[in-house]
Amino acid sequence: MVVDTGRVDGYAALRDYAVVGDGRTAALIAPDGTVDWLSWPNLDSPSVFGAILDAGRGGSFRLHPQVPFTSGRRYRPNTNVLETSFTTAAGTVVVTDALTLQDDHPLGPARELVRQITCVEGAVPIEWAVEPRFGYAAVTPRVQRRAGSLIASHQGQALAVSAWAAGTPDHRDGSIHGSAVLRPGPGAMIALSYADLEPLVLPTRGECEDRLVRTTQIWREWTSERTYHGRWRDAVVRSALALKLLVFAPSAAVAAAATCSLPESIGGVRNWDYRYSWIRDSVFTLNAFLQLDCTEEAIAYFWWLMHASQLTHPRLRVLYRLDGGPHATERTLPLEGHRRSQPVRVGNAAAGQLQLDTYGELLQTARLYAARLGRLDGDIGRRLAQIADLVCRIWREPDAGIWEVRSPPQHFTQSKMMCWIALDAALDLAESGLIPRRHAERWRTERAALASFIDGECFSDRVGGYVRSAGSSEVDAGVLLGLLNGFRPADPARLASTVQAVQRELRHGPYVYRYLSEDGVRGSEGAFLACSFWLAEALARFGRPDEAVPLMDDLVGLANDVGLYSEEIDPRTGEFLGNLPQGLSHLALISAAAAIGDAR
């Protein structure tokens, strides 16, 4: 029997995805119980399940009733453990999903996805199919039976499918499947164990059940230590949990998103790989960790940032791999793309761009770290001083800007603002004795030159605010980031007038677009969620908190049913666009909620 799962051409809507993770990778799960995305062993590894990018060939893990159903879902309170309820005429079953967290068992699996199926009432027939396709769907694995489990393997990769009370698994053409009728009682369980060039561990049901319980406990213990208790606590806590899924535990790097190449417009070409850590996000990341009392994560992230940037010192890359590497070669894959949105890209060519704002982000992060968490190591201090020296030499160059345009470089206003912030932070750190101050007078001179350039070339009297680039008349929401990070004009009135210009030109209801001009890439895009939260924060911080509150209420309401955000939203349809869960959207929510609370 074919069950209608509400998909279009085999694809679930991006708004419909929930995510589970374990600090190393993440899985995206649709309301029909299908795992459509999972890269193993790590977040930035090639996919094992990639149906979100190619419904026909990408691979997935389907699990749902064999009869017509409706579904609803939630996270177990204060966790990243997902529960999906399937209601049918025959009864109700609940599927509980988790990428289990590592325990102290010396022989536990390196990676494990556990799916527990419990019948609440009735007698419900279920079916399931595991269709792994290694290497971004390049390989259909060989399947063999071993010790009661079925093993899908290719070269050094192996994935074990272990099932209990879920029917006798069978296999065909590289796929493993089964079915069963479930009644109230202990229920069924399916576990996927993964190994890459290491021993493959086959778990027992009891071990999987214990790890599921322990995973729930660990998430709840972590959440109980979060310190925000304001108006939007539920949204902030969910954002914190989403952010925690993007923290790559082995290095403490924070990925921008869990996915790659999801389109910014359906059928369009703006499809990028976001499984890297952007320097652009560093201030928001450290600030969010500190606001939520995630001191351990804040310290670890700062030291990862210092390690990664040392590899290219004094120059900064726009982004770094999760292991700290500086290269992210971009290539296209022979996949259909989400709802035929091509090309499908992995890697990101933006890594090689010049983005001057990154220097401001790094030094502002160091200033924040030093102010809240203590002194800087002497070697770090010397490196930061050398970066400030570099900013003095290069700030006059055009760059690709925060939005990574692929048109000719320009003198972007936000980039110049962040260079000003870089030198301002360096002077603060020097005054505190945390970095060498032998070039402080030059930093002060160049900071003044930057202020003169920004106020003279990047402000438009006609627009009434700072514009996108020197001499232009276009408005860019990115300038809000420069203001929020601390750029201060000689005339303070320009802060409020710039916020007003962004509202007038780029805001449509709760939605804020990044900009409206060409950027060297064909196709359209949706409204950028982080910009909407930046606007809410700017309203709060620049004297208009009463306007910020209803905007924030609206933005919190734009999350999907389990509290997650993508990169963008189509204002006409509410459809999610771009990669998800998007770290910057959740970071901006946390920052805005804290700022509005402080302002009120």
- What would the pLDDT profile of 213-230 be if each residue is shown by its tens digit? 999 999 999 999 998 999
pLDDT at 373: 85
Per-residue pLDDT tens digits for 121-149: 999 999 999 999 999 999 999 999 988 89
Q: Contact at 8 Å (CB) between 395 and 442? A: no
In Å, what is the CA distance from 300 to each residue of 168, 252, 318?
45, 6, 20
Does 1 have pLDDT greater than 90? no
- Least confident among 16-25, 72-81, 98-107: 98-107
Domain count, the chain: 1
What's the angle, vertex CA 577, arms to CA 571 and CA 579, rounded to 5?
150
Does 2 have pLDDT greater than 50? no
Distance CA 481, CA 537 (A): 10
Q: Contact at 8 Å (CB) between 413 and 479? A: yes
Which H helix or E strand runs over 366?
A: helix 357-373
Judging by DSSP bridges, how do beta strands 91-99 and 111-122 pair with one another? Answer: antiparallel
What's the angle, vertex CA 260, arms to CA 270 and CA 75, rounded to 5?
120
> In three state form, how does the secondary structure of 323-359 look?
CCCCCCCCEEECCCCHHHCCCEEECCHHHHCCCCHHH
In a domain, 213, yes or no: yes
In a domain, 195, yes or no: yes
In Å, what is the CA distance from 413 to each residue of 197, 391, 468, 487?
48, 15, 6, 11
Instruction: List all residues 6 or more positions away from 130 whose beta carbon is below 8 Å from its beta carbon.
Output: 61, 152, 159, 161, 175, 176, 177, 190, 192
Q: How far apart are the first and last CA of the chain?
A: 57
**Structure token pair of residue 312:** 């290219």
Judging by DSSP bridges, how do beta strands 175-182 and 149-154 pair with one another? Answer: unpaired
Q: Contact at 8 Å (CB) between 115 and 182? A: no
- CA nearest 254: which of 144, 134, 361? 361
pLDDT at 82: 98
- CATH code of the domain in which 217 resides: 2.70.98.10
**Structure token pair of residue 221:** 């213990």
Query: Residue type for 521, please?
Result: V
Domain hosting 148: range is: 14-224
- Per cent of the chain over pLDDT 70 is 97
Per-residue pLDDT tens digits for 90-107: 999 999 999 999 765 556
Mean pLDDT for the stretch of residues 500-514: 96
pLDDT band at 357 (very low <50, low <70, confident <90, very high): very high
Does 519 have pLDDT greater than 70? no
Does 454 have pLDDT greater than 70? yes
Q: Contact at 8 Å (CB) between 526 and 265? A: yes
Q: Contact at 8 Å (CB) between 132 and 174? A: yes
Per-residue pLDDT tens digits for 541-584: 999 999 999 999 999 999 999 999 999 999 999 999 999 999 99
Q: What is the rounded average pLDDT for all residues in the chain? A: 95
In a domain, 42, yes or no: yes
* Backbone phi, psi, residue 9, to 5°: 55, 35
Distance CA 237, CA 223 (A): 7
Q: Is 330 exposed, middle or buried (0-12, 13-18, 19+ CB in 10 A)?
A: middle
pLDDT at 214: 96
Distance CA 92, CA 70 (A): 10
* Backbone phi, psi, residue 414, to 5°: -60, -35
Distance CA 431, CA 428 (A): 5
- Neighbour tally for 270: CB within 10 Å: 21
In a domain, 284, yes or no: no
In a domain, 103, yes or no: yes
**Structure token pair of residue 83:** 């529960």
Which H helix or E strand runs over 428?
A: helix 413-431
pLDDT band at 524 (very low <50, low <70, confident <90, very high): low
Distance CA 418, CA 584 (A): 18
Query: Residue type for 515, please?
Result: Y
* Backbone phi, psi, residue 107, to 5°: -115, 25
Does 189 have pLDDT greater than 60? yes
- Per cent of the chain over pLDDT 90 is 92
In a domain, 359, yes or no: no
pLDDT at 110: 78
Per-residue pLDDT tens digits for 250-294: 999 999 999 999 999 999 999 999 999 999 999 999 999 999 999
In a domain, 590, yes or no: no
| Segments in 198-356 forming alpha helices (H) | 205-224, 233-245, 282-291, 295-310
Distance CA 267, CA 264 (A): 9
**Structure token pair of residue 277:** 């850590």
Which H helix or E strand runs over 68?
A: none
Task: Kindly state the DSSP code that residue 458 receives in the 8-state scheme.
Answer: S
Q: Contact at 8 Å (CB) between 566 and 581? A: yes
What residue has token string 């792994």?
132
In a domain, 3, yes or no: no
Task: Kindly state the DSSP code that residue 199 receives in the 8-state scheme.
Answer: P
What residue has token string 């300038």?
479
Distance CA 341, CA 89 (A): 37
